[in-house]
Structure 1
Amino acid sequence: MTSGAYHWGALAVQARVGVRDLAEHVGRSIGTGIRDVAAAFIGLQPHLVVGATDGAGRVWASLLTGAPGFVRATGPDRIAVAGGPPTGDPLAEALATAGTPVGTVVLDPRTRRRIRLNGTLEVTRGGFAVEVEQVFGNCPKYIQRRQPLELARQGAGVVRRGEALTPDQRRTVRDADTFFIATTAEADGVDASHRGGLPGFVEVLSPVELAWPDYAGNAMFLTLGNLTADPRAGLLFPDWESGAVLQLSGRARTEFGADGSRRTRFRVESVVESVHPGRLLWSTPEYSPHLGSTTR
């Protein structure tokens, strides 16, 4: 890092947008310790989003699920995860390799709360742990509220792999109100973050190209900063009502408009579609009230 919590890519975006002072203030919330209230929150959640790089250098975001308590804080700078990604997941090998840099998001649709924890993976018996180097909360902006319904029982596994989106997958992306994005800045580790909007906020420009607006947020620009330093990215689109998961890996870049708007364009390089085991099904969403006042 070149300035507290930020590396040069984030600093460059903050300077371009004109929020360096605000970002410096907000950046003080990034710590290394997991507080008791955060530990309690983590232990109640049934899923964890993890971002990492596979053996071929592709960045992915994966969804891990389990009964509440499968992720728990075991110290002020450590979380333990029981189990791992499902069979066929593109990060299966990376999440079984000690020293893998990872970014994680713990998000609760019921309360619209989220915590991000980034660090280095340690292999444990029956799962893995993360030695946490960064931990911070984010505001509830753009998170859709959902309620759990039931645990799915039908079969699971990888449904389809490819290098471009099928018509059904393109429909999934267009209908999405939520996705997760994993990015990296190499020596500065991996970060995983959340994006939310009304259905249609992610545009499908072609079977291999997507775009979405960057809404006003916390001024950190960790994701856009990583993409400035390294264009690799992984996207995760969960289908909350069926348990299906769409994972994309590719490269992204940010376009800055003369009116101050920002837009990210993503080029698809690899696609994995799967049905998740032990998945919790969720209700239709109550959209975030902030979506009525988004800025592009």
Structure 2
Amino acid sequence: MSGYHWGSLAVQDRVGVREHAVHVGRSVTPYVKDVAAAFLAQQPHLVVGAADAAGLLWSSLLTGAPGFVRATGPDRIAVRGGLPEGDPLAEALASAGTRVGTLSLDPRTRRRMRLNGTLEVTGGGFAVSAEEVFANCPKYLQKRQPVALAAEGPGVVRRGRALTPGQERAVRAADTFFVATAAGARGADASHRGGLPGFVEVLSPTELAWPDYPGNAMFLTLGNLLTDPRAGLLFPDWESGALLQLSGRAETEFGEDGERRVRFRVDAVMESVHPGRLRWSTPEYSPANPAPHAPQGPVRPGPR
């Protein structure tokens, strides 16, 4: 990529992976390659991260028949349709100029692709002018197969400012979630986090924590959080089609042994079950998933 912002550079330096990050960053382009266009056209859903009108960051999920997301030019994708009524990003995805991060993930093949850019409103949905396009490795992705569409659902089930006991259980059982972050003029980003159930800790109804497992060394998410602590989490219930969306603030903690943990404080909660959501099979866990465990030794905030 043309250059990391200071937040990502600070984390790369602290972990000692700057040289590797420069190498990996060369894979980031401002255009959609043919192989990426073909991948997008096969996907039945798209994760989108952005800020709502109040400035809260959220991650949301769009679902449609394969082809509802497609490349319409070398640096542009079009998305047919929009978010269900009541979704916290429904208004943002109907507003031209919204900075969005998108993530297309295929549980069948454990492939994923990220595209970040600026939204344009279209007659049948929206488009995104690409600024950063890149693939990620399959680490920590669980393999699943599509089962059926969730034919019925009550829409938004519950809004709140803290997790209910049932929502706490859902978070503890999760093997996957998505996180939206942002960094000023660099715009928004949507990323994936995965692990064995229990890798996300519920510290209280308003506080979560999870380990930051070794990845591609770019540290886009942790770098964004260093510049802007806002974050939006999306926990999908793959088997029912339900969604749990959280908006709040996050901070990275660094242990003496080199381990990293992210602590997240909840500001807003939305739980929904919308008709048309795709239901998936039970997972085949990634062989890369570490066993969940409590962080060892003291932890302290990351570089300022």
After TM superposition, the score normalised by the length of structure 2 is 0.95
The answer as to whether partners of 1:162 and 1:271 remain within 8 angstroms in 2 is yes
Residues 91-240 of structure 1 aligned to structure 2 (within 5 Å): 91-240=89-238
Match of 1:89 among 87, 91, 94: 87
What's the CA shift string for 1:110-136, capped at 9, x where partnerless? Answer: 000000000000000010000000000
CA separation in 2, counterparts of 1:42 and 1:76? 13
CA separation in 1, counterparts of 2:153 and 2:132? 36
Pairing 1:41–2:44 present: no
What's the CA shift string for 1:237-284, capped at 9, x where partnerless? Answer: 000000000000000000011111000000000000000331111000
Q: What's the secondary structure of 2:3's corresponding residue?
A: coil
The answer as to whether partners of 1:52 and 1:102 remain within 8 angstroms in 2 is yes
Q: What's the secondary structure of 1:15's corresponding residue?
A: helix
The answer as to whether partners of 2:145 and 2:281 remain within 8 angstroms in 1 is yes
Shift in Å at residue 293 of structure 1?
7.7
The answer as to whether partners of 1:5 and 1:30 remain within 8 angstroms in 2 is no
Gaps of 5+ in 2: 296-304
The answer for the alignment partner of 1:11 in structure 2 is: 9
Q: How many corresponding residue pairs? A: 294
The answer as to whether partners of 2:208 and 2:263 remain within 8 angstroms in 1 is yes
The answer for the alignment partner of 1:65 in structure 2 is: 63
Shift in Å at residue 163 of structure 1?
0.2
Query: What amino acid maps onto 1:86 in structure 2?
Result: P
Gaps of 5+ in 1: none
The answer as to whether partners of 1:152 and 1:281 remain within 8 angstroms in 2 is yes
Residues 269-280 of structure 1 aligned to structure 2 (within 5 Å): 269-280=267-278
CA separation in 2, counterparts of 1:221 and 1:286? 27
Query: What amino acid maps onto 1:245 in structure 2?
Result: L
CA separation in 2, counterparts of 1:48 and 1:277? 16
CA separation in 2, counterparts of 1:234 and 1:151? 25
Q: What's the secondary structure of 2:54's corresponding residue?
A: coil
Query: What amino acid maps onto 1:171 in structure 2?
Result: R
Q: What's the secondary structure of 1:29's corresponding residue?
A: coil
CA separation in 2, counterparts of 1:265 and 1:155? 32
Shift in Å at residue 294 of structure 1?
8.7
Pairing 1:21–2:16 present: no
Query: After TM superposition, which residue ranges in structure 1, 4 or more long, deviate above 3 angstroms?
Result: 292-296
CA separation in 2, counterparts of 1:150 and 1:280? 6
The answer as to whether partners of 1:163 and 1:271 remain within 8 angstroms in 2 is yes
Query: What amino acid maps onto 1:114 in structure 2?
Result: R
Q: What's the secondary structure of 1:251's corresponding residue?
A: strand
CA separation in 2, counterparts of 1:119 and 1:72? 15
The answer for the alignment partner of 2:299 in structure 1 is: none
Tell me: CA distance 1:99–1:285, structure 2 relative to 1, closer, same or farther (3 Å): same
CA separation in 2, counterparts of 1:52 and 1:36? 26
CA separation in 2, counterparts of 1:128 and 1:169? 31
The answer as to whether partners of 2:195 and 2:290 remain within 8 angstroms in 1 is no
What's the CA shift string for 1:174-210, capped at 9, x where partnerless? Answer: 0000000000011110000000000000000000000
The answer for the alignment partner of 1:52 in structure 2 is: 50
Q: What's the secondary structure of 1:228's corresponding residue?
A: helix
Pairing 1:286–2:289 present: no
The answer for the alignment partner of 1:256 in structure 2 is: 254
Shift in Å at residue 291 of structure 1?
1.1
Query: What amino acid maps onto 1:45 in structure 2?
Result: Q
CA separation in 2, counterparts of 1:237 and 1:177? 9
Query: What amino acid maps onto 1:237 in structure 2?
Result: F
Shift in Å at residue 292 of structure 1?
4.4
Tell me: CA distance 1:13–1:294, structure 2 relative to 1, closer, same or farther (3 Å): farther
Shift in Å at residue 4 of structure 1?
2.5
Q: What's the secondary structure of 2:266's corresponding residue?
A: strand
The answer as to whether partners of 2:44 and 2:66 remain within 8 angstroms in 1 is yes
Pairing 1:75–2:80 present: no
CA separation in 2, counterparts of 1:26 and 1:124? 34
